[in-house]
Structure 1
């Protein structure tokens, strides 16, 4: 009985408990439903107006997971869920008040603009606003944002195509804990109130302003923002000293200052061992000093990027303690810090302990010798960059053990041997960069089995053998193939059309092609095409622009045998083409007009005739090369409006008339002008003085009649001034200041009608000629960065008269120093001040009416290789200290009034009789007239060894005595019996790499053309 009653009571209580749960659940559901119906009508209306102000455009968002969140807002009016804005996608309401407090429309395909009348500003309760990754049509941020939405704690407008000035009212949002206004290069977003912004954001945790143009220092007040966890200021034009105290912020996890080239800073000696820092990116800043050993005490560090900084060339081995590190970039660590000796590869062995690394870049770190063995330990690597080093030997097969490897960059080294077939085991490999090495042999077929391969760079090696192009058709993801400048024979089967569907870049230069590949008809995605240096004959087929017109941006058909277009176009037919190179063919007819998108247009060394159409001025050209054609007429006056032009090459044509007022607009970027070998007349336009970036000016061999252009002395970058063979006349007076022509290294005023004394005041000011510059930049064109595709178009050729011959430099050496005042009417004495130009390689004062003694100060010109004083009225004896000129290989004092003994020993034993003829008072070898004992007082120089093969004398350590003298390697050889005297043009053989002097690797590519003169 008791048991039954107890059971009954228990059941009663259980029923009551279940009923109570049901009531609570119902109440909760009612409460939830009630909360869901609290959407305020005015806010609902504001959201719908906000939606209506935008279009839905899939191109407006870049996130692959983007979708239109606002698409179904307000639909199905009868459905309470659809009419309740609190249930809409991306909308968050306060559960109690029903006010909209959060709006997340990131990556929502929104396209339109936000203006001050936007209904967005009616949502005054907003605390979180995320409109990132949309397209707001480069509209500005309205000032109302800072006035009306003062409750915001989170604001993200990044990557949404906003532009203009960031309003100072943003600083009113003092409750912000996260602010992200990160931009793009196209947006041109600016901020001028960085200091006041930081001062008011006292609770900020995340401050992201990457690619916003700030252009100021980093305010010291950031040191006091202890709440800061993430600071991203990449490419903000920051300058000045970075506050070192920021490294000590207790909660900082992310510090990204990359690409602020003028931002200086240094590491504190001691870093906090308890620091939560995970990401440290200082790439391409001006941080300097040394890396403290305490950097190895940052236990949480995942990413370290100090590429292209200026730290001392020492990496502490304590970095091996960073066991959580998965990204390490030390690119250019040594190259920005002067020279470094020793086997650098060994000093990086500690990297092998960082076994969690996914990304490793040691590009430009002076690695040399065989491949670093420590790489074998890094089995988690996804990206490996060893480019721009001096690695030799062969590619090792232990790389095949890096099974996760996706990107392998080995380009710009000295790697030899064959490409090992074991690389075919890297099944995840998407990109292989191995261009500009010494690789030999054939391409292993195992690489054609890498189904994930997208990018394949093997250009500029010594690869040989046959390549069956259909092997690449299996690679469905293939996008980039570069095989140019090898010794390959690429075979394309007749009728082959099965190309990879995503092929965008194709480089088959110097691959022995004899016809245009027919599969190009179907390469609709192609953006870059290089078929240069092949055996293509005849006309460019019409289908080339019918099939490839949509996306083609870069086209190189140079160095073939093309005669024209199958259907001659008036305008270049590829509408998106940026770079066109048709040089060194046999193209005839009138010039095709560049399209509006074209930046580089080169048709040099062809047979084009007629005038330059004025429509050329409608293009936004950066490089225009029409040299060595049969063009005539006047240069269009509208050339003065080509504001974007950087290189203008019109030499070797038949242009006449006045030179246009080039650089009349002061915003010009013009760096090189070559109009030599034409028939141009009139005066030199004074507007050239506005070309503030001008480095190279060659107007030689024209009919220009003017006085010396002293007004060009204000050009601070000008290195080369060639005015030879014109009708310049009058005196060369004194410079306006001591700062005229500060960088001038080459000046050629020969074959004009100047009639003054030699311009000693100018000679005194030309500081660039006073010492041999050991700068690593090799040729004049290397001083200016024109863009990745401009390449050899900035190879400035010059022709000088030296050693009695016409000497042509295909590229102007950066280190060449030259003064040529020959064939004028200069008179008076040679000023002794000329001896201060110690960097001179060529000095030519011949064919003037100079008098007096040869100054002994010429013996100070230790780099001099050619000295021509012939055809003057010089008198007295030859200064004995000229025998000290170690590199002198040409010396001509003929037809003067000199007397006394000829110098003996060193190079002077190689100079022939005709170098002294016409001086009745000279005596001694090689002249038949013997000297009397009183005349034979010239000191003898040290002995030399005879080179039996070449027939001329070489100093034993000739390549080492002055390694900075570039031109000596060529000009020094010219004076001996090395040169032939054939009457036709010929090219000097390219110097072998084994002849490279220390510190001068540039001459491995140098070429000269020599003409009899």
Structure 2
């Protein structure tokens, strides 16, 4: 038997443990007592009425969920007749209910101000956290509970405005309204601009305030600094902006501060005192800037520090190494500049660390063997840096690791066998490095693995899927883009195979569909593209995870059809289907109405566009390009989807007219109908598509005048109308300026007449300056749809592509550089002179006025085009001399003035010493070195004769003859990464989805001109 002393110690400890546990026994222990009466009948009645106002959710995957109200009933049992003994209920000595804890109680239903809850007026502590109140508003009735000191409504699907009646609860010590989120993890609650200030002025006793994910969208009130009792402050994801009041950092009792993901919240860190009690300091994903002060080392109680994704600069103070209690550190994604990892050697001495994130810090050099000192690490990320060398074997000391991410570095060597010591490893992310060798079969021994990301490395050899299917916890497997040969022969019994969520086996030399997929029911995302899968698609693939699948990519294979006719895909939630670059001939199943992105380009499909596509109200991208389809484009297609951003029907046989496009809510960013047989006039509704960036209607039979009415489109960068039946003068714009962002315009091979349009040259603002990105690999890209849509595409931003006649050659651009500025008015009926204004378009890289009837001299102002690379003025009636100023254009590599009436000496020096003779042929008055006519020739031997070439001869050729040259030296850039796991999935390779081509149709030679015959250029993402 315990002694009285022991009992006096043990009993309080037991009560404290039970209270902290907050289990069902708390009420019976705290409320029990020989002198306490039963709870008041009225309060029992109110509790029973509260119970009956909700239903209990029957399914939960949260082990903390427990239906507390199920025990609330009246029968002969003492614990039932006394509501003070019910689960979650506590009473005072008079039998009044003072504590009601219904957190995680599986409650479902709406709540309003008439709820019986508000009759429990003696309540001091109330928690309704983590239930589902079905997006109902927070009732104003809470203001009736005047004795409340603790109110917790977090994570319970409350929505709407927070009632300001809460400010009447002046006794509140703790208020938690956080994490009321929708299915997309967006906040549901809103607190108006002045509401937070009023709340802070009234609730002066607050010690804990948690408004995470409440939409506030204001500056942070200075009144926060007056809450001297505040211990915990969490205002994450609230939409704060402006400067954060520095005195808040120095509140004397503040232990926990969380302001993460307020991206527009700015400020600088203060000088910290040694007396600060801060234990958790979370300021990640804000716009704080300046240096991290050395005095941060004074926060000796700190155990969590997050300064990630801000604008901090300067050096990282080594005083961080003095924070001996720190177990969580994230300082990644700031502006510290290039750093050798060795400069952070103090990190390897922080042996209490359990989570270390140093991603996107531009770290260089190798990983120190001292990393093995951090034996307590559970999560380690050095992702998105420039680390080189091999992973040191000392990493084997980190046996507690559950997350290891080295993705997007330059690390090399094999996967170390020592990684197999990490038996707790759940997430292994090594994507986008130079790891090589074989993937060891022993990886199947890491039975806790849930995520394996090994894509984009140099792994070789054969891999049996069996090695991964033995991992029963596996949910995500990404092996794409290595040099692997993945074999799908599965010997593990299918019933033992894990249910995957994500499978990426692109470019893995697969020759068949893996049979184990037949029994996968939980797949959200599957990529089997760029393999060698032949023949028909089995019916079970079309039915794969039909209730969950959101993304399917079977592109770049050799698929020809389907085993059975299935008119409509059964998937209820499919968002992306990519079947492009196959050999489908017969119609494939129509996509479900949920589809956002549908790609079946570069196949052999015939027939018309199904009327079903007019029923896809959420469609964002439709790409049917490079097929053998025909018929008219359905008139409803332009009006079907309120989200349609990309319409790519190029290189088919569509005829008829272009349909009108929805005037209201129009989201069109790109339209490519080139290389069809479309006629008629352009639909004037295009002028209302204010977001259009790219228009390619080349290679059709459109019979119209110049669409000056498109000049008001504020975002238009590319306008391609070549090879149609456009005609007439280019009318004056109704107002100036017009086409201000235009960078590429191609009107070639039409019947435009009149003079060159000076008014337009004057308006083209984007062409008048030299792009500052000239020395960078930057491209015109399509940030299609932000947020959730981007995740389901897996491609990141979309890249515009095109094939153009540039520098006299047909060039394919898988990405269009942002610096590319081109004007092509060739092969029309333009007359008059070349305006001096053209020389003000200093961003021009390509200028082609060839095959017109231009007269007068070449303006010397063209010498101001200092980045010009290609200039073609051939086949006109130009006179005078070639301006000497052109010799100063050091970037000029292609130049032609052939077949004009130019005279005088050819400029000498720099680029002009490199141009071939045929750049000048057909101008008998020109003279110069290596020319038939020498300048100053007076007699003597005859000048050297060139091969005969006559104007008007159909066999004559100039520098712009059809010489195929495909430009493919375009790099890829990374996509948006959100988190280690999601980033590894969704920041996959970008594809060149938009494959517009600019091909000139064969045209009879005119005035010694030439005909350019289009050649099909094989285009691949």
TM class by shorter-chain length?
0.7 to 0.9
**Secondary structure of the structure 2 residue equivalent to 1:588:** coil
Structure 1 match to 2:1004: none
Asked whether 1:585 is paired with 2:589, we answer no
Q: Please state how far the C-alpha of 1:495 moved relative to its aligned partner.
A: 6.1
- Kept in 2, the 8 Å contact 1:152–1:173? The answer is yes
CA distance in 1, matches of 2:491, 2:299: 61
State which of 781, 788, 792 in structure 1 corresponds to 2:791.
788
Structure 2 match to 1:474: 470
Q: 1:158 to 1:991 in 2, by over 3 A?
A: closer
Structure 2 match to 1:261: 263
**Secondary structure of the structure 2 residue equivalent to 1:439:** strand
CA distance in 2, matches of 1:190, 1:156: 16
Q: 1:923 to 1:212 in 2, by over 3 A?
A: same
Q: Please state how far the C-alpha of 1:711 moved relative to its aligned partner.
A: 4.4
Provide Cα deviations, 1:81-120, integer angstroms capped at 9, x if missing partner: 2022111111122223x22222111111111111233222
Asked whether 1:696 is paired with 2:660, we answer no
Asked whether 1:892 is paired with 2:896, we answer yes
Alignment of 1:521-532 (within 5 A): 521-532=518-529
Alignment of 1:53-92 (within 5 A): 53-59=53-59, 63-75=62-74, 77-92=75-90
Structure 2 match to 1:408: 404
Asked whether 1:513 is paired with 2:513, we answer no
Q: 1:835 to 1:246 in 2, by over 3 A?
A: farther
Q: 1:83 to 1:724 in 2, by over 3 A?
A: farther
Structure 2 match to 1:921: 925
Q: 1:734 to 1:116 in 2, by over 3 A?
A: farther
Structure 2 match to 1:766: 764
Structure 2 match to 1:297: 298
Structure 1 match to 2:558: 561
- Kept in 1, the 8 Å contact 2:800–2:992? The answer is no
Structure 1 match to 2:423: 427
CA distance in 2, matches of 1:617, 1:322: 62
State which of 814, 819, 842 in structure 2 corresponds to 1:815.
819
Alignment of 1:360-399 (within 5 A): 360-399=356-395
CA distance in 2, matches of 1:30, 1:173: 25
Q: Please state how far the C-alpha of 1:275 moved relative to its aligned partner.
A: 1.6
State which of 208, 218, 240 in structure 2 corresponds to 1:216.
218
**Secondary structure of the structure 2 residue equivalent to 1:227:** coil
- Kept in 1, the 8 Å contact 2:409–2:433? The answer is yes
Structure 2 match to 1:201: 203
Asked whether 1:595 is paired with 2:592, we answer yes
Structure 2 match to 1:239: 241
- Return 752-761 or 389-398, whichever deviates more: 752-761
**Secondary structure of the structure 2 residue equivalent to 1:555:** strand
CA distance in 2, matches of 1:171, 1:740: 54
CA distance in 2, matches of 1:592, 1:751: 40
Asked whether 1:344 is paired with 2:340, we answer yes
CA distance in 1, matches of 2:926, 2:958: 22
**Secondary structure of the structure 2 residue equivalent to 1:328:** strand
**Secondary structure of the structure 1 residue equivalent to 2:569:** coil
Structure 2 match to 1:952: none
Asked whether 1:439 is paired with 2:435, we answer yes
**Secondary structure of the structure 2 residue equivalent to 1:375:** helix
State which of 746, 749, 752 in structure 1 corresponds to 2:747.
749
CA distance in 2, matches of 1:929, 1:118: 102
**Secondary structure of the structure 2 residue equivalent to 1:261:** strand
CA distance in 2, matches of 1:838, 1:64: 66
- Kept in 1, the 8 Å contact 2:31–2:84? The answer is no
Structure 2 match to 1:359: 355
Asked whether 1:493 is paired with 2:492, we answer no
Q: 1:689 to 1:35 in 2, by over 3 A?
A: farther
CA distance in 2, matches of 1:417, 1:987: 35
Q: 1:219 to 1:1010 in 2, by over 3 A?
A: closer
Structure 2 match to 1:870: 874
Q: 1:488 to 1:709 in 2, by over 3 A?
A: same
Q: 1:833 to 1:47 in 2, by over 3 A?
A: same
CA distance in 1, matches of 2:177, 2:966: 58
Q: Please state how far the C-alpha of 1:895 moved relative to its aligned partner.
A: 2.0
Structure 1 match to 2:675: 677
**Secondary structure of the structure 2 residue equivalent to 1:416:** strand
**Secondary structure of the structure 2 residue equivalent to 1:526:** coil
Return the TM-score normalized by structure 1.
0.85
Q: Please state how far the C-alpha of 1:391 moved relative to its aligned partner.
A: 1.6
CA distance in 2, matches of 1:310, 1:421: 39
Q: 1:225 to 1:262 in 2, by over 3 A?
A: same
Q: Please state how far the C-alpha of 1:413 moved relative to its aligned partner.
A: 1.6
Asked whether 1:536 is paired with 2:561, we answer no
Structure 1 match to 2:189: 189
- Kept in 2, the 8 Å contact 1:614–1:636? The answer is no
Q: 1:932 to 1:29 in 2, by over 3 A?
A: closer
CA distance in 2, matches of 1:30, 1:417: 62
Structure 1 match to 2:1007: none
Q: Please state how far the C-alpha of 1:559 moved relative to its aligned partner.
A: 0.7
Structure 1 match to 2:280: 279
Structure 1 match to 2:979: none
**Secondary structure of the structure 2 residue equivalent to 1:408:** strand
Q: Please state how far the C-alpha of 1:56 moved relative to its aligned partner.
A: 0.9
CA distance in 1, matches of 2:217, 2:96: 40
CA distance in 2, matches of 1:31, 1:190: 37
CA distance in 1, matches of 2:355, 2:33: 51
Q: 1:376 to 1:495 in 2, by over 3 A?
A: closer
CA distance in 1, matches of 2:104, 2:163: 24
- Return 83-92 or 118-127, whichever deviates more: 118-127
- Kept in 2, the 8 Å contact 1:497–1:519? The answer is no
CA distance in 2, matches of 1:992, 1:188: 41
**Secondary structure of the structure 2 residue equivalent to 1:515:** coil
CA distance in 1, matches of 2:639, 2:772: 35
- Kept in 1, the 8 Å contact 2:805–2:998? The answer is no
- Kept in 2, the 8 Å contact 1:63–1:133? The answer is no
CA distance in 2, matches of 1:333, 1:374: 24
1 or 2 for the larger relative contact order (CA 8 Å, sep ≥6)?
2
Gaps of 5+ in 2: 1-27, 939-956, 973-988, 1000-1011, 1014-1021
Structure 2 match to 1:942: none
Asked whether 1:316 is paired with 2:297, we answer no
CA distance in 2, matches of 1:850, 1:249: 77
Q: 1:898 to 1:173 in 2, by over 3 A?
A: farther
Asked whether 1:655 is paired with 2:681, we answer no
Structure 1 match to 2:14: none
Provide Cα deviations, 1:505-542, integer angstroms capped at 9, x if missing partner: 22222222212111111222322222111111111111
CA distance in 1, matches of 2:921, 2:703: 35
Structure 2 match to 1:841: 845
Structure 2 match to 1:40: 40
Return the TM-score normalized by structure 2.
0.85
**Secondary structure of the structure 1 residue equivalent to 2:671:** strand
CA distance in 2, matches of 1:460, 1:41: 69
- Kept in 2, the 8 Å contact 1:411–1:436? The answer is yes
Provide Cα deviations, 1:581-612, integer angstroms capped at 9, x if missing partner: 11111112335322132222111111222222
- Kept in 1, the 8 Å contact 2:328–2:353? The answer is yes
Structure 1 match to 2:23: none
Q: Please state how far the C-alpha of 1:1006 moved relative to its aligned partner.
A: 9.9
CA distance in 2, matches of 1:860, 1:1004: 37
Gaps of 5+ in 1: 1-27, 935-974, 994-1002
